[in-house]
Chains A and B, each alone.
Chain A
Amino acid sequence: MKIIVCIKQVPDTTEVRIDPVKGTLIREGVPSIMNPDDKAGLEAALRLKDELGAHVTVISMGPRQADTVLREALAMGADAAYLLTDPAFSGADTWATSSTLAAAIGKLDYDLIITGRQAIDGDTAQVGPEIAEHLGIPHISYCRDLKIEGDEIVVKRQFEDRYQILSAKLPALITALGEMNHPRYMTPGGIFDAYREKEVVIWSRNEVPVADGNIGLKGSPTRVVKTNPKMLKQPGTVIEAGVEESVQYVMAKLKEKYIL
């Protein structure tokens, strides 16, 4: 089985601020991370690899620095990595991004494509389904759980208050929810291999068979007119524990914050 996982490098939004004048994200000094939904998608792929022996390829479109998240994916256990990077690709909206990724994926073999539900810096949730449309394969979004049955994938598709069980013939694309699993850590040896033994293959403009009108800023039909900052609420933490344990947890937190 061959699996392709799409990964985006994003600024850690818990630390991101918005330029009050330009309305754009201030990225300087903000650490970059692997987009959390993508990481869950990668973990799902690696679990299939552990169970069924899949070959996992990770692919990203982005600047050269996105090399780091691909190495991280390799250090977690991915087998191959591709970085689509070229000034011509930059400034892409979801249409141009999905066109570029789909064209690159079209050069590779796959039975299953996994993307994250959405990137925490854009929150569109469009790129995954669009890739599937470009490639003419079925897709199932909001995957909370999955299994492979013969030549089909069976997916638990999560909504706020209910879920669906859907199946699709492979090859197919799914978009993964961050809540799907707890991604594994890298291993120290995996990190060394990622830098010393494995390779991140660079594909620039000419290696991706996509029309000029469908890439980068020029190939993007949508424009960000204005971004309005919203007061960020600290994300809550959900603790699943008994009464005794929860009370202890809360007490420890209050002490940690010097409230008690």
Chain B
Amino acid sequence: MDFNLSKEHLMAQQLFHDFAVNEVEPWAEQTDEEHRFPWEVVREMQKYGFMGIPFPKSVGGQGCDTLTYVLAVEEISKVCATTGVILSAHTSLAADAIFMHGTDQQKEQYLCPLAEGKKLGSFALTEAEAGTDAAGQQTKAVLDGEEWLINGSKIFITNAEVADIYIVFAMTDKAQGTRGISAFIIEKGTPGFSFGPPEKKLGIRGSSTCELIFENVRIPKDNLLGREGKGFGIAMSTLDGGRIGIAAQALGIAEGALEKTIRYVKERKQFKTPIAKFQNTQFSLAEMKTEIEASRWLVYNAAIKKDTSKSFSNEAAIAKLKASKVAGDVTRECVQLHGGYGYIQAFHVERMMRDAKITEIYEGTSEVMKMVISGNLLK
């Protein structure tokens, strides 16, 4: 049992920290205010191999591990949660689905460009009628000769407009229920595949969130990901991994807000003394730090388990439940310690508070995390 990061993880953490401060943070405010996808930042991340961290070099990745990937999402989310989710949805949803379930041919054609940073990925499960109840898929795929014919739509999809490669779930046999769901790889530009208008959101405003619309979209038969009827399992196991990325995003948001707040309370004076001198401030900081450390080890534990254990679903759910709760609580408290300034955009913590909320919703709500955890306890 060793709670120390290895030398390579420490150096990677330093790299991600420097990158976040120098390349990501300068864009964070504008990204949020203008609801603008941070292409400048994403291009730099692509250039430096950030888009393929946990995958082997044989598929264009960096040959690192899930813990290194988590450190990247964490450091980046400390300064910009939008950039954090772009990296997370790309890596642990889209690319990982192909890595875990793709054929050699699919890996070469689709995973390599994702991991090498040449293309961006997206993962589309949610529909208007199929949210938490993801089994209720309405999108249909029918085999027509050598092609799948796809009709339907997906909502709230991250990286929607900006991605090149999409993992899309659809019913191939409604009568089979969850066993009738299959997964597909669809490329942008395929005729009949279009986007709804961008959603206006509470937080992570620079990330692209849109509806995906499929009207008689034809894709090659070989773009079925995994076996026919296995899509639901693919979705659930991929989301297990994705939750670790979101937990890391939540952890980063909380840490980022705490850092800003520590600086602020040392400088802000009331009653002729820095507000850091008040015991309420001190105890509040201590409690936040303790909660953050608790989530950190849950998140790192889930990341390590993903690479070393057969099952990590429970650990991922626990990490996401805790880290997202802490992100919400900590950012709200950080705004409180800033007083009125906390409510003002230039002080960043209001953005962090808005950004934190989504971590309790996507890739399974906190209620779903509790279902997973209690399901394991009661089985």
Chain A interface residues (CB < 8 Å from chain B): 68, 71-72, 75, 184-196, 252, 255, 258
**Complex contact B8–A258 (CB within 8 A):** no
Number of interface residues of B (CB under 8 A): 23
With a cutoff of 8 Å between Cβ atoms, the chain A residues found around residue B264 in the complex are 258
With a cutoff of 8 Å between Cβ atoms, the chain A residues found around residue B12 in the complex are 188, 191-192
**Complex contact B18–A185 (CB within 8 A):** yes
Q: How far is the CB of B289 from chain A (nearest CB, A)?
A: 20
Q: Nearest 10 A-B pairs (CB), nearest first? A: A189-B62, A187-B49, A195-B8, A188-B62, A255-B346, A191-B11, A188-B64, A188-B53, A189-B63, A186-B15
Q: Is the interface of A mostly helix, strand, loop or mixed?
A: helix
Contact residues of B between 1 and 51, Cβ < 8 Å to A = 6-8, 11-12, 15, 18-19, 48-50
With a cutoff of 8 Å between Cβ atoms, the chain B residues found around residue A187 in the complex are 48-49, 62
With a cutoff of 8 Å between Cβ atoms, the chain A residues found around residue B15 in the complex are 75, 185-186, 188, 191
Q: Looking at the complex, which one of A72, A189, A252 makes contact with B11 (CB distance below 8 Å)?
A: A72
Q: Looking at the complex, which one of B8, B18, B19, B267 makes contact with A191 (CB distance below 8 Å)?
A: B8
**Complex contact A189–B64 (CB within 8 A):** yes
Task: How many A-B residue pairs have C-beta atoms within 8 angstroms? Tell me.
Answer: 60
Interface hub of A184, A192, A196 (most chain B Cβ within 10 A): A192
Contact residues of B between 55 and 76, Cβ < 8 Å to A = 57, 61-64, 68, 72
Q: How far is the CB of A191 from chain B (nearest CB, A)?
A: 5
**Complex contact B346–A188 (CB within 8 A):** no
Interface hub of A71, A75, A190, A255 (most chain B Cβ within 10 A): A190
Complex: A239 Cα to B61 Cα, angstroms: 36
- Known contacts: A185-B15, A188-B68. The answer to whether A196 contacts B8 by CB under 8 A is yes
- Known contacts: A71-B11, A72-B11. The answer to whether A189 contacts B346 by CB under 8 A is no
**Complex contact A188–B19 (CB within 8 A):** no
Q: Looking at the complex, which one of B7, B50, B267, B268 makes contact with A188 (CB distance below 8 Å)?
A: B50
Query: Can you name the residue of chain A whose Cβ is closest to the Cβ of B50?
Result: A188
Q: Would you give 30 A-B contacts (Cβ < 8 Å), ordered by A? A: A71-B7, A71-B11, A75-B15, A185-B15, A185-B19, A185-B48, A186-B11, A186-B15, A186-B48, A187-B48, A188-B12, A188-B49, A188-B50, A188-B53, A188-B62, A188-B68, A189-B61, A189-B62, A191-B15, A192-B8, A192-B12, A192-B62, A192-B63, A192-B68, A194-B8, A195-B7, A195-B11, A196-B8, A255-B346, A258-B267
